[in-house]
Structure 1
Amino acid sequence: MSARRRLGARWRRHRPLRTRLTMAASAAVALVAVGVCAAAFFVIRYELYHQLNLNLTQSATLAIQQNRNAGAGVLAGECRFLSAPACAQIVPADPALDPREPYLLPVSRPVREVATGARQPYFTNITLADGKPARMLTTPFGGAKSLQVALRSDTVREGVSQAAWLLSAVGAAGVLLAAGLGYWVSRTGLAPLARLTGTAEHIAATRDPSHRIELPPGKPGGPVKEDEVTRLAASFNTMLGELEQSVTAQRRLVADASHELRTPLTALRTNAELLARADRLTAAQRDRASGALGRQIREVSVLVNDLIDLARDEEPVPLLEEVRLAPLLAHTVDRARAHWPATPFQLELEDAGVTLPGVPGRLARLISNLLDNAAKFSPPGAPVEVALRTGELTVRDHGPGIAEADLPHVFDRFYRAEQARALPGSGLGLAMARQIARAHGAELSAHRAAGGGALFRLTLPRG
């Protein structure tokens, strides 16, 4: 490929979209304008020559009627435009019968063929002796003769030439207008894209997703007028809203995690510093500090693991399998009984054949979090009722219940109700349970149970 071709290809690749759209729109309108002008030129040219042919035909008919018995030779020698009779002459098929006087119009072999009937009448353009253009009709005269009739065509040629110049000027003006219209169309049509690009560049520079693209207003009282670019801008605004929520949630998670980690890390440091001076402590003090350090390490480990789990958006698809909930629920309840010996767990399995596509370990974590939460708030000896029915799993305790003001926030990360401040936990268990539920297509909701206590309902997806 030559350097010129490479330069042209590179220029075409790097042309802005507005330039390409302007050129495409201008080329389309210019092509139409030039096509219309060309069609108009050929129509005008055809009509002018068609009218001249009609005049020649009328002149020939009149000459035949007025000179039925005339011999070969010139009938009329004054050739004017739209005159009758026009230049006219009779030519015999046999050249030996030609008159002594020279013919006014050119005689050729096709003229003799028309006289004998071997050729159809025809029109042709000629130049007269005085240099003027003319149009000639050769037609049979009868008696082995042909009739030639001519009319000057300079006026027709001037009309065709004037039409050509006029339509060329109109076509040029159409091309310029097309260029202007193409630029206007590209500028107007790409204005939303320009705003979208500006917003995207501003967000990339400032890392602030709170900006939105201004959508075109609709009619008063009516919806926003939508087209492809408007829908793109609306989709981009929706994406920015989701991004803003994600960034806000991430910042809140980091802030809450740092706040929750501050207390156990401070206690860890205190106990570690205390054990560093173990020679000054009694054996009982060392055992107490060592036990506290171990508990705090476990709390921090659980908290970090919970944060890692919450950072996962969805379960990995390759690990999904059809999980039978009844055996999984029974196993998880048995583990809860061992962990909470003072709390009786009542299990009711109305539909033991329920299955759910998912990850068994994650579903077990969801159920375990619900059971731990119910046992934590249940008074000693109060039962925790667990039921698996068609389409739902419920966990109900008989504790103090959920305050009306706390219901909208029980699944928020690190949220802890007033009565839960003194209880162990990080406030991540229910948030993690809801996230696992949604990752499996289910929905977890909290309610105030009739007669007291809290009720958590896991609505399973319809198979």
Structure 2
Amino acid sequence: MTGTRGLGARWRRRRPLRTRLALATSVAVAVVALGVCAAAFVIIRHQMTRQLDLSLAQTATQTAQRTHNWGPTAGDASCQFPATPCIQIVPADPAKDPRGGYRTLPVDAGTRAVADGRSPAYYRELTVAGRPVRMYTSRLPHRDEALQVALRSDTVERGVGQAARALSAVGAAGVLVAAGLGYWVSRTGLAPVARLTATAERIAATRDARHRIELPPGPPAREDEITRLAASFNTMLGELEQSVTAQRRLVADASHELRTPLTALRTNAELLARGDRLTEAQRDRASAALGRQLREVTTLVNDLIELARDEEPQPLVEQVRPAALLAHVVTTAREHWPEIAFTVSVAPGAAEVTRPGVPARLSRLLSNLLDNAAKFSPPGGPVEAALDAGPDALDLTVRDHGPGIAPGDLPHVFDRFYRAKAARALPGSGLGLAMARQIAHAHGAELTAEQAPGGGALFRLRMPTRRP
């Protein structure tokens, strides 16, 4: 049994899906066709035999009604003619049999039993004069005699044979049609799968995720499971293409951003290596520059590591109060930017609201927004942070009174390493806002940027407080 299952498994592995589907469909249709033909043959044979039996019974009834002389009748014959019945009357007592032992149809104990009423009427297949005959034996009413009526059955056998040959031809044609239908069904039904396989193999060979599977035309409501699978595969390819493109852009941007500080690091390191040729003031300046550049590279690398994280670690998720988190981050920002006036406004309904999140990551998001606002604010200018509670979300806004965001820069403010013309002279790597949006998305929040009424930039963070 195990060997049989092993052979079946090996056969399935060696045969392609299209062949297996075609064979399965063909076998199923062929079995149905052959089953219908077999059932039709049985029904035809039964009906033809039944018609012969009815004819025998009818002949026996008519003979019993019109026969008054229970001797030999004109119906007696040797069953030589197909449509002529053989008729004979047999008494229950052999001693009263006028014909003695000579009979056209065979007489046995069963015939005598029917004659004296001990057995019911019956049908029997036999051969008379070398010809197949079906005989009906019944008891004559109110007489101890049996009436035997026989008709040749070779016509029925010929009809059954003709029906068998016709149904065999129909069954063979059905098997051929089943094979054709199986091939057509497998070819048509698996066409999207074949295209999906070809696309996957082409992507694996070329490593190019821009390929797509061609979908059949038609409204989405009429799509079948295979078409939906192909559409899902195309969606997955689109996501893969975006991921690969973003990864390549991140590597290219990171390489470009790291090239300048690494070159400066190498220059200052080489300069300090020849410290005996420098004055003490030159060594101090080189050491200070080296330390500053190391901090910049460290910050940049840490930011890149943070950006490489797709989701928040679940063990660190806890219930946090955004209002308390905002107050803490504003206090820290005042220490870093003493020349900026930070103001905080918390609506009464938002002070005690909690939501799940990673406190350190949310603090990083808020500090990035406040640092960005402080960077673009004029000395002594205010940075306004406000927290308001809606029916199902918290709205946090951070506004500065700086030059604002140019319309051409607005779609790119959250891109990695993107720096507007007004920000290229300011410190930073261009990763703060990109990191802020990524943290917001990881927490199910939405971060947007817009021009503030009256000038400056306005960043809006919407954090849902209810699970969808």
Query: In the TM superposition, what is the alpha-carbon distance from 1:311 to its structure 2 partner?
Result: 0.7
Per the TM alignment, residue 108 of structure 1 is displaced from its structure 2 partner at its CA by 2.5
Residue 356 (structure 1) shift: 1.9
| In 2, Cα distance between equivalents of 1:9 and 1:185 | 23
Q: Residue by residue, what CA displacement relative to the aligned partner does 1:375-425 show, whole Å, maximum 9, x if unpaired?
A: 000001111111111021111111111111111110011111111010000
In the superposition, relative to structure 1, how do residues 137 and 227 fare at CA in structure 2: closer, same or farther (>3 Å)? same
**1:244 maps onto 2:241 in alignment:** yes
Identity, % of aligned pairs? Answer: 70
Name the amino acid aligned to 2:188: T
Residue 329, structure 1, aligned to residue 332, structure 2: no
Report the equivalent of 1:259. 256
Alpha-carbon shift at residue 269 of structure 1 (Å):
1.0
Partner of 2:19: 19
Cα distance between partner residues in 1 of 2:205 and 2:43: 61
Aligned to 2:363: 364
- Among candidates 207, 231, 234, match of residue 234 of structure 1: 231
Look up the match of 2:97: 98
CA distance in 1, matches of 2:400, 2:8: 76
Aligned length: 458
Work out whether 1:403 is the aligned partner of 2:406.
Answer: yes
Residues 88-118 of structure 1 deviation map (CA, whole Å, 9 limit, x = unaligned)? 1111222332232512111223322322333
* Aligned partner of residue 270 in structure 2, secondary structure: helix
Checking the alignment, whether the CA contact within 8 Å between 2:354 and 2:465 is kept in structure 1 is no
State the TM-score, normalizing by the size of structure 1. Answer: 0.95
Q: Quick check: 1:72–1:91 contact (8 Å CA) kept in 2?
A: no
Does residue 1:386 correspond to 2:360, yes or no?
no
Which stretch shifts more, 185-194 or 74-83? 74-83
Change beyond 3 A, Cα 1:81–1:275: farther
Partner of 1:30: 30
Distance across 2 between alignment mates of 1:425 and 1:329: 22
> How far apart, CA to CA, are the structure 2 residues paired with 1:413 and 1:246?
14
Q: How does 1:299-310 map to 2 (within 5 A)?
A: 299-310=296-307
Alignment-mate amino acid for residue 319 of structure 1:
L
Secondary structure of the 2:11 match is: helix
Asked if 1 retains the 8 angstrom alpha-carbon contact of 2:82 and 2:155, the reply is no
CA–CA separation in structure 2 for the residues paired with 1:5 and 1:414 = 60
Displacement of 1:461 in angstroms is: 1.1
Structural mapping, 1:147-158, within 5 Å? 147-158=147-158
Local SS of the residue matching 1:300: helix
Match of 2:423 in 1: 420
Structure 2 residue 436 is the aligned partner of structure 1 residue 433: yes
SS in 1 for 2:287: helix
TM-score, normalization: structure 2? 0.94
What is the rounded CA distance, in whole Å, between the counterparts of 1:101 and 1:141 in structure 2? 20
Is contact 1:115–1:141 with CA below 8 Å preserved after alignment?
Answer: yes
| Contact kept? 2:56, 2:151, Cα under 8 Å | yes
Of 60-69 and 242-251, more deviation after overlay is shown by 60-69
Q: Give yes or no for contact 1:73–1:98 (8 Å, CA) kept in 2.
A: no
Q: Could you tell me how far apart the structure 1 residues matched to 2:268 and 2:12 are?
A: 70
* Map 1:30-429 → 2, pairs under 5 A: 30-71=30-71, 76-80=76-80, 83-84=83-84, 86-99=85-98, 100-128=100-128, 130-142=129-141, 143-218=143-218, 225-350=222-347, 351-390=350-389, 391-429=394-432
Q: Which amino acid in the other structure matches residue 436 of structure 1? A: I
Give the letter aligned to residue 42 of structure 2. Answer: F
- Distance (Å, rounded) in 2 between the aligned partners of 1:261 and 1:459: 33
SS in 2 for 1:76: coil
Q: In 2, Cα distance between the equivalents of 1:321 and 1:5?
A: 53
The CA deviation at 1:15 is: 2.3
Q: CA deviation at 1:371?
A: 0.5
Counterpart code for 1:18 = R
Within 2, Cα distance between the matches of 1:406 and 1:120?
107
Q: Which digits, 9 at most, give the CA deviation of each residue in 1:276-331, with x for residues without a partner?
A: 11111111111111011101000000000100110111101222111111221111
C-alpha RMSD over aligned residues: 1.8
1:126 is displaced (CA, Å) by 1.1
- Between stretches 55-64 and 192-201, larger displacement belongs to 55-64
Matches of 1:206 and 1:151, distance apart in 2? 82
CA contact (8 A) 1:384 1:398 kept: yes
Do the aligned partners of 1:434 and 1:444 also contact (CA within 8 Å) in 2? yes
Q: Which residue of 2 aligns with 1:461?
A: 464
1:173-205 deviation digits (Å, cap 9, x = unpaired) = 211221122112111211111111111011011
Offset from partner CA, 1:208-236 (integer Å, 9 cap, x none): 00001111123xxx558411111111110
Q: Quote the offset at 1:5 in angstroms.
A: 6.9
For residues 226-254 of structure 1, give each alpha carbon's deviation from its aligned partner in whole angstroms, at most 9, with x where no partner exists. Answer: 11111111110110000000000000011
Instruction: Deviation per CA, 1:13-60: give whole Å up to 9, x if none.
Output: 432211210111001110111011112111221221122122212211
Unmatched segments (≥5 aa) in structure 1: none
Q: Out of 11-20 and 235-244, give the one that drifted further.
A: 11-20
Provide structure 2 residue ranges, at least 5 long, that are not aligned to the other structure.
none
User: 2-side partners of 1:181 and 1:133: how far apart?
Assistant: 44
Moved more, 397-406 or 56-65: 56-65
